[in-house]
Structure 1
Amino acid sequence: MSVITFEDYTAAIKGQYEEVKSGIYSSFLLNPTPAQLRNLCLLILDNGLSKVDEGIFTLFFQVKQGENLRRSIENFDIEKFKAIKNFLIGKNGKTNPNNLNLIAVLVDFQPRPFSKFIHQGPMDLNKFSNEISINKEEIVNTISQQNSFPDNRTVNLKRSKRRSIAVAISIVGMALGGYGVKKEFFPDKECMQWNNDHYEEVVCEGSEIGFASINPIFDKDESLFQLKKIEVSDTTTFFKNDQPIVWYSKRDGKCEFFNAPGLHPESRKTLRPVSKYIIKKYVLTVN
């Protein structure tokens, strides 16, 4: 019987992330940002938490007795999600137990939390060690191939390498010069803002943007550019394989419809999957 460790818990959750990141929450997990991870927490909260998961959320978001959990998540320091992002994208292979338990909720890994995981009984650790062995073997083979040239090619290879380095340095120098000019006169659009029915890239210093006073500016998140507000009618396809492909949110007694899950760009309320009742009441009855 193998002794289960925190490293096993870490590897198992990372494996679960790789499996589900392209699934239903792909807009949050495929290219995660701190803002998207916070929004996913709100979405999962709105969908309902078990007592165990509520405890994980309460501990991570440092919710005091009597405080509202949703309010605590909304006001939480978003910078603290960077450690979770770095773990998911592989920039950092380790993170603390509170972070890991929250990630387990986000990727729906079971059993969770770690205290429950270590009591699950015998565990097959081979699949994790096999992955490491395969990566090591690939690296060794690559190095062996690079070092297998005959001696008479070694000198030419070194000369070619020196020329490549010199050319690269020149290119980098020119690129940096151009980059400075570009940054001065054409600043990068590293933020985004909702404009009518879609997100647009904007310069983060957006005090002179026409609609800045109406819609807030966020850090750019490529995954959110697919979110669109759509017009629907009695001919719209709302379901595919009996699963909703349209989401909605109510505002001022009316429904606004979107092509993907997430948060409403203006009210920040969780978008809900469309239902036959909503279609009948807000689509089919409209003249």
Structure 2
Amino acid sequence: MFEEYKKEVLEFYFFKKGAGELSSNLENPGRLKLKNECLKIFAEKYTKKDDQILKLFFDPLGKFNDHIKSIEKFGLDKFRPLVKFLKEGTSIRDEAAVKLLAWLTGFDSYQDWRSKKESREPDESENSDTGQQGDSIPETGDKEISEENDNSLSNSAGTSTEKNINSNEKADDNEDKEEEVVIDSDTIEPQGTPIKTVTLTCVALLFLASGFFFLFKKSTIRQPYADEQCMYWAGDHYEPVKCDEKIKDVTLIPINQKALNNLRKINVIDTLTRYSIGKVWYTRIGGKHEFFTDSGMHPVDTLKRLRPLSTYILSNHISHDRYLLNLWRLSIAGIIAVVLYVICLVYFFRRQKKFKS
């Protein structure tokens, strides 16, 4: 029954959203917006009846005696399933979150909704019973009418049997024709060529797409949330995080939007060319050169400053020809794999044709 309640709550939310009756916090929900909306609704229309809903969601362990305090101390990440439920319509297992949504939108509480549902069911059953009694046919009737009905039934039965015989004969004729068509189709060459062409095209496009993705892929930049004021180096880019979060073997630093958006480590250094001069910076760590997409200090060894890429470093430590050679080898391997796949398809379709003949 709760699944039905969940569905009606979500439909009510979208109805109010379409009618423009929701607040700005619920119109485009986010974790912080939902938290602020809870504080707002609590200040506007809190009653003693809402205690169970608020306690079940914000303070199930009973740590706080004040609802406002429990809402303010509530972690924003715990709103994430409810935000996803509202934006994407995905399933949600937390019943407390559904009841909270009903409270925020002004929908009936689960207890009130269930009592109304149960009170309507007996009325419907009574109506169905009375309907059945009202539709009952009296036993007494006119003999002449019954005789006429018997005659009409016998006539209709006769005509129906004739129709069935005719339809069966037609069905038999159709089956004979289908068998003839099947026998004729065996002599025709199977339509295998279009399937092979489509398969070959799909495989080639997939190979090209994966190659372009490998060459030009860029790590997505995740922008920080309102409560994420720090960041840490994640190997080849900065990742925003809360300042009080503990992550093993990393150092948290205050967030720098410029470094977060622009500083990336270049892992495939042989892709660099003379056009990269002025756009790439480097430093030497542990006897190896590391290259980055922006200037500043090294993200791990903060005592070393990144220097601009020079022609000398490009000529002596980077080989673009080596990169092209590796790319050529990878392309040859992909082409060989595609050719082998096509050969297997041709062999399969020829075996299938031979088996049919």
Give the TM-score normalised by structure 1.
0.47
Radius of gyration: which is bigger?
2
Q: Which has the higher strand share?
A: 1
Q: Which has the higher helix share?
A: 2
Give the TM-score normalised by structure 2.
0.39
